[in-house]
Amino acid sequence: MMPFLIAVLLSFVPALFYAAIVYWLDRFEKEPAPLLLGAFAWGAIVATLGAIIWSSVLQLGIAGLTGSADLAEISGATLVAPLVEETLKGLAVAIIVLAFPHEFDSALDGMVYAAITALGFAATENVLYLYFAGYGQDGYAGMAALFVLRVILGGWGHAVYTAFIGIGLAVARLRRGLAVKLIAPLLGWMIAVFLHALHNAMAMLLAGSLGLAGLAATLLVDWIGWAVVFAVVVGEIFRERRWMRLYLREEVERGTISAEQYQTATSIRGQLRARMRGKTARRFYEACAELAQKQHQLATLGEERGNTARIAALRTQLALLAPAV
């Protein structure tokens, strides 16, 4: 029992820490905690169990059709697992965007939900690897080795793959045209599957045959992918800030917010300091961000899902909160 509990702690504590980083990176308008918890739970339970079942069934099918257990194992890792796992993780993000479309205000929102879902999946998957493949084969030394490899060196892998599904779904939500709404999610899913399959293939073929050199090459490719996604995240943060600078100027002119509050709302550092002042300040500046996002959606998508009414409600909320901030 103790080795299993240690595997759980070594898997879930870092995953929750990584999830906290994702939450922190969503600088201006935080996503609702219940949805994020639901996404994490989906990844940790639904997606993981579904992946175990469907990957096993498909791998057995390949073995039966080809008569080769080795081919089934290779194709299972390099093709079946990426297809099944990314589909199941992406399904959580698709459900959220369909059920709560008003929570998808930017590509960053899609990346946040996707990454949180994927981190839940990675946590449960790592428990199984650390306990069965690590401790089960080489005791605590094997568990420690897999912890370093999977949780520390490769801890962002699943989050980065699935982030592209989140981007695709967010683009579909925030762009006009049927073609974009069909192509963007499919393209995001294809990129996620490709990156996942590339990692698995390199880990199995290169690391297996070249040892440390193959492992180093696999990690280098992974980390380049992480750097690209981080750059996208930074770009999205600054794009959201541009929206705020543009659309909140009108709110200063209207008298909804003060010039000082405008400066704080449009400053990343100012936001960080303001959120430490208490619940009212957090609610106020998140409402500022949401107002700017809804105004951008009104300008680009039109009335859509009641944008005008949402903007009016947010202005009323800001007017009530402003004197206390």
Q: What percent of the chain has pLDDT over 70?
A: 99
Give tens-digit pLDDT for 38-69: 999 999 999 999 999 999 999 999 999 888 88
pLDDT of residue 30: 87
Q: What is the dihedral of CA 117, 123, 128, 134, to 10 degrees?
A: 140
Residue 206 has what pLDDT? 78
CA proximity to 131, closest of 121, 140, 118 = 140
- Is the model's pLDDT at 209 over the cut of 80? no
Q: Quick check: 147 and 130 in contact, CB under 8 A?
A: yes
- In which band, very low, low, confident or very high, does the pLDDT at 268 lie, cut at 50, 70 and 90? confident
Helix extents (H) in the chain: 2-25, 33-41, 48-66, 69-75, 81-99, 107-128, 136-146, 157-174, 178-201, 207-210, 212-254, 259-265, 268-275, 279-301, 307-321
Question: What are the pLDDT digits (tens) for 81-104?
Answer: 999 999 999 999 999 999 998 888
Angle at the Cα of 45 from the Cα atoms of 141 and 144, rounded to 5 degrees: 10
Comparison of pLDDT for 175 and 270, the residue scoring more: 175
Task: Kindly give, in sequence order, each residue whose CB lies less than 8 Å from that of residue 193, ignoring residues fewer than 6 positions away.
Answer: 82, 83, 86, 161
Closest CA to 161 of 83, 245, 231, 236: 83
pLDDT value, residue 208: 67
The per-residue pLDDT for 87 is 98
Largest distance between two CA atoms of the chain: 74
State the Cα–Cα distance between residues 110 and 36, nearest whole angstrom: 11
Per-domain boundaries in the chain: 2-210, 241-324
- Assess contact for 114 and 185: CB atoms under 8 A: no
- Enter the DSSP assignment of 31: P
Q: Give tens-digit pLDDT for 275-318.
A: 777 888 889 999 999 999 999 999 888 887 788 999 999 999 99
Mean pLDDT of the chain: 93
pLDDT in the model for residue 214? 86
Which residues make Cβ contacts (< 8 Å) with residue 212, sequence separation at least 6?
A: none
